[in-house]
Amino acid sequence: MDDRFDFAAIAAKFSVRGDYVSCARYGEGHINDTFRLVLTDGGKEAHYILQRINDRLFTDVEKLMRNIELVTNFCRRSVLARGGDPMRECLTLIRTKDDKAYYFDGENYFRMYVFIENATTYQSVRQPRDFYESAVAFGNFANLLADFDASQLYEVLPNFHNTKVRYANFETAVQKDVCGRVKKKEKEIARVKAHKELCGKLVDAIAAGEIPLRVTHNDTKLNNVMLDDKTGKGIAVIDLDTVMPGSLCYDFGDSIRFGCNSAAEDEPDLSKVHFVFDLYKTYLDGYLSAVGDSITQRERELLPWGAVLMTYEYGMRFLTDYLEGDVYFKTHRPRHNLDRAHTQFKLVDEMLACMDSMLAAAKG
């Protein structure tokens, strides 16, 4: 029980029926404070997710919640149009009694969702089927929002996947060398510079209208997918704080970057780090089965490049942070960001080595 908040009073601000029973911490998220709220109405329990929004990270809560409103409302209409169950297949936001998307108590911001019953999120893949089902869920998310005008969305994290901007930031870090680390890391710096020509591959394709501007989730890990407890199927995508305009290649690529690594993201022993092509194929098959005809042929061709770009981008960001003194990513040991950068660079090398096979699989 978290005694910082009067949960009964907070719950009473939202458009829900029933008497307060309990509210306890739920899940393993590190950004927002998440709780499972239990109310009872006529002897029947009703469950909700209550979250305290981290307004230190998400400084414009009004715009953040506007994004979530737009996306969840559109998903709900899409699910209903195809005869599905929106209470299970997408997040359902509960408005306050004064018709707002969130409640502000003068110090903290809270929001509420309907609790998706009989489904669970997992922190790690238990079997390849889990990875496949996460791909189905994120492919379905893209399909549901295929006709959504992504230009309506506020950029919660500006230039988040603008690899050209990330490269400029990297160059600035090298030039300033605030920690005096550049001279000893010339090899790593050269590896970033060697792939500079890749930086505009997706950004420029969007700008030229070669691929459409889409809704991107930007945190496409397994723990943001609800898997049905009975069937194991991916039924809903959660955690929409970072929905922004971009390319679906970003979301696909980040899933591959994280999920097709044979080792941990920060594994210091690079002999353990490999790009697992079979897992790439597993995820690709699941994603394409769900995204369906909403994906363009050019987007399909660029999916493998999304994997390379996201991996390269994160390697560059880890190295940039190391050069700047480890000020952005949390570190738990000396050289932690450097270890992370090394794993990404090795994965990039192995992805590029099998790019022909990756491209062939994506084209179908």
Task: Write down the pTM of the prediction.
Answer: 0.93
Q: Which of 50-84 are b and which e, b meaning 16 or more Cβ less than 10 Å from the residue's Cβ? A: bbbbbeeebeebeebbebbbbbbebbbebbeeeeb
pLDDT of 2: 63
Q: Does residue 119 contact residue 236 with C-beta atoms inside 8 Å?
A: yes
Bridge partners of 53? Answer: 109
Q: Does residue 298 contact residue 211 with C-beta atoms inside 8 Å?
A: yes
pLDDT of 1: 53
Question: Which amino acid is located at 143 in the chain?
Answer: N
Question: Following CA atoms 312, 314, 316, 322 in sequence, which dihedral angle do they give, to the nearest 10 degrees?
Answer: -150
Instruction: Measure the CA–CA gap between 134 and 270, rounded to whole angstroms.
Output: 27
Q: How many CB atoms lie within 10 A of CB 154?
A: 16
At 261-295, the pLDDT tens digits run: 999 999 999 999 999 999 999 999 999 999 999 99
Q: Quote the crossing angle between the two packed helices 186-194 and 163-176, to the nearest 10°.
A: 150
Bridge-based pairing of strands 93-94 and 33-41 is: unpaired
Question: Following CA atoms 90, 96, 100, 104 in sequence, which dihedral angle do they give, to the nearest 10 degrees?
Answer: -110
Q: Can you point out the beta strands (E) in the chain?
A: 19-25, 33-41, 44-53, 93-94, 103-104, 109-114, 119-120, 214-216, 225-228, 234-237, 244-246
Q: Tell me the chain's radius of gyration from C-alpha atoms.
A: 21
Instruction: Measure the CA–CA gap between 135 and 122, rounded to whole angstroms.
Output: 14
At 78-136, the pLDDT tens digits run: 999 999 999 999 999 999 999 999 999 999 999 999 999 999 998 777 888 999 999 99
Alpha carbons within 13 angstroms on the beta-carbon side of residue 134 total 33
Instruction: Domains for the chain: give ranges and CATH numbers.
Output: 7-115 (3.30.200.20), 128-363 (3.90.1200.10)
Q: Does residue 83 contact residue 143 with C-beta atoms inside 8 Å?
A: no
The SS3 of residue 105 is coil
Beta-carbon contacts of residue 287 (< 8 Å; ≥ 6 apart) = 135, 136, 138, 139, 252, 255, 303
Where residue 270 falls (left for φ over 0; alpha for ψ -120 to 50; beta otherwise) is alpha
Number of continuous H segments (helices) and E segments (strands) in the chain: 12, 11
Q: Which residues of the chain have pLDDT under 70?
A: 1-2
Instruction: Measure the CA–CA gap between 158 and 150, rounded to whole angstroms.
Output: 14
Instruction: Measure the CA–CA gap between 258 and 240, rounded to whole angstroms.
Output: 19
